Structure 1
Amino acid sequence: MNSKRIVVVGSANQDYLLRVPKAPGPGETTIATGLTKQPGGKGANQAVAAARLGGDVHFVGAVGRDDDGATILRNLSTDGVSIDDVRIIDQQPTGLALIWVEAAGENSITVVSGANATVTAERASSAVTRLAGQGSIVVVQGELPRDVVETTVRAATGVGARVILNLAPFLEVDAAALAAADPLVLNETEAGQLLGVPVPDASAVLAVRDRLLAIAPSVVVTLGGEGAVWGARGDDGPAGGHVPAEKVATVVDTTGAGDAFVGALAYALAGSAALADAVRLGARAGSFAITGVGAQKSYARASDRGLAAGAAS
């Protein structure tokens, strides 16, 4: 695939995955059955997912000057992600995420931003302006402050790059940032937060598709086991559809599956795939990820199930 550059501006965390029968409720103590420590963070995850499929990926972010930061940088580099624009910070530790993974594979996550909070709007804008260009893909998520997200989007549109805005976790951003997202990527919960109405399943997403397309020129709503719904404005009216998730024998861990989706989507769009085809690849990558433990280590490579070829199918 003749892939254009992908610039990911985002978070990098060390993930602590605790296997539990059920995530603890208020005032409850739960005994974990296992602990796994792996690199994560939505931005780093998406960068790795795209790079493993063969993308030319550059990551803009920050880690602390500690063992966790060193591990994250080493893993990004090993997976083919350029880390030239990752700053090593003395004043803050590397970000971390505490992830409770239940027996059925579902998870609950608490994030401590750490060094991620030092990524400034000015640095993000400078990096995007320098790294991206006409036709490049710029990816940004909601784990960074609002001003960083909005400035990244403005810088990307200023150099003619295509923006993938993943509002995860949900973050209030200005209308201009939403209007530049092509696509705007959310899960069903985040779509409901954006619209102010419940959006529990694929049929509900299809019912509000036109409302989402009044906000952004194209949208993708991920639905876990239901796959994803996409929509795009067109000269002849909106187009769109529902892409089912690929069935897997056993769900091991859903951590990072949405990031695998976004990374694969970015990879496909960087290769000039149509949005429908990019969503299909994203759904396949997300399904592949839930068969392994954690985020980045569970992501597909180009040789896995012919995923790279699937971008053009």
Structure 2
Amino acid sequence: MSTRTPAVTVVGSINLDLIASSERLPTAGETIGGAALSEQPGGKGANQAAAAARLGGSARMVGAVGDDVSGRRMLDALAAAGVDTADVAVLPEPTGTALIVVDRDGENQIVVCPGVNSHLSLDAVQFGPEETVLCQLEVGLPVVLEAARRHTGYFVLNAAPAMDLPADLLERCDLVIVNESEYALIPALASAKLVAVTYGGDGSAILAHGRKVAEVPSAAVTVANTVGAGDAFCAALVLALRQGLDYAHALAVANAVGADAVGDPSSQPDLAQLGYYVKRAVSTEGAL
């Protein structure tokens, strides 16, 4: 395994998360009272960049925020996590916002108002061949396609939210990361080069051209918030694989990071360095 922590550039969304914590999730047309409201930095892209930086990676964020109070707060949060924000554009449109309801078991419902995320441009952004570029689908698909075309190195797509993906994009991906539901909603993933699938409390797996090549269970944890857990998993898996871990070890590391993330109420949880999770995964009996 390499001792050098890889450089990761995240191209994606930056949102203000407005989170209502309630006893349970409302049904259609139902109003629930007694919830507690909190505001947190979020967005799948920002969450992944913050996680990569906290895990010890050299993390750069390519995204956009509004020229408003929320935008300045999102930039401050990324910088505090150790993320390079030089390529985050400040534009006149409002900062993206996610409206989130979380129940006592950590399950959630999310509605995203993209705001300035819909205006992200890569015109002035440069990618180095040694970088790993990690994208999601909370920004426009044309931006993701452009990043895939312009970057010549290792390219990862967290295909969330799920949508039909062009064949040339899937062919370009060195790795696609999805949850179980997203995998079912994107049939083309069954033949993709390399796909990591998360199953919540049932662990995760890696499939190569549809064939399972590694599978690792999750540890039992107390759930506080699942909003940032998948993003922390993505960052950890990318760093672990790029540092040279085999598929099973990398999944075990990512599962351990995801477990810590669901126990933290923040969308951008505090995390230990990657090496801690590598040791923890190796020492956990039955993890590999």
Q: Same fold (TM over 0.5)?
A: yes
Find the aligned partners of 1:5 and 1:75 in 2 and give their Cα distance: 20
Alignment of 1:24-63 (within 5 A): 24-63=26-65
> C-alpha deviations, 1:94-117, integer Å up to 9, x for none?
101111001111011010001111
Alignment of 1:52-131 (within 5 A): 52-90=54-92, 92-120=93-121, 122-123=122-123, 126-127=124-125, 130-131=126-127
Aligned-pair CA distance for 1:38? 0.6
- The equivalent residue for 2:286 is none
Counterpart check, 1:259 vs 2:235: no
Find the aligned partners of 1:229 and 1:269 in 2 and give their Cα distance: 14
- The equivalent residue for 1:272 is 244
State the TM-score, normalized to the length of structure 2. 0.91
Find the aligned partners of 2:71 and 2:179 in 1 and give their Cα distance: 29
RMSD: 2.0
Alignment of 1:179-258 (within 5 A): 179-195=171-187, 212=189, 214=191, 216-232=192-208, 240-248=213-221, 250-258=222-230
1:310–1:274 CA distance, 2 compared to 1 (3 A): farther
Give the SS at the match of 2:87. Answer: strand
Amino acid of the residue matched to residue 171 of structure 1?
Answer: M
- The equivalent residue for 1:155 is 150
Give the SS at the match of 2:174. Answer: strand
Find the aligned partners of 1:62 and 1:311 in 2 and give their Cα distance: 35
Amino acid of the residue matched to residue 206 of structure 2?
Answer: W
Aligned-pair CA distance for 1:172? 2.0
1:107–1:263 CA distance, 2 compared to 1 (3 A): same
Amino acid of the residue matched to residue 235 of structure 2?
Answer: G
- Note if contact 1:117-1:144 (Cα within 8 Å) is conserved in structure 2: yes
- Note if contact 1:5-1:132 (Cα within 8 Å) is conserved in structure 2: no
1:312–1:81 CA distance, 2 compared to 1 (3 A): farther
Counterpart check, 1:144 vs 2:139: yes
1:238–1:46 CA distance, 2 compared to 1 (3 A): same
State the TM-score, normalized to the length of structure 1. 0.84
Give the SS at the match of 1:286. Answer: helix
Find the aligned partners of 1:140 and 1:174 in 2 and give their Cα distance: 15
- The equivalent residue for 1:13 is 15
> C-alpha deviations, 1:48-83, integer Å up to 9, x for none?
111101001110000011111111111111111100
Give the aligned length. 281
- The equivalent residue for 1:207 is none
Aligned-pair CA distance for 1:28? 1.2
Find the aligned partners of 1:32 and 1:49 in 2 and give their Cα distance: 31
Find the aligned partners of 1:94 and 1:308 in 2 and give their Cα distance: 36
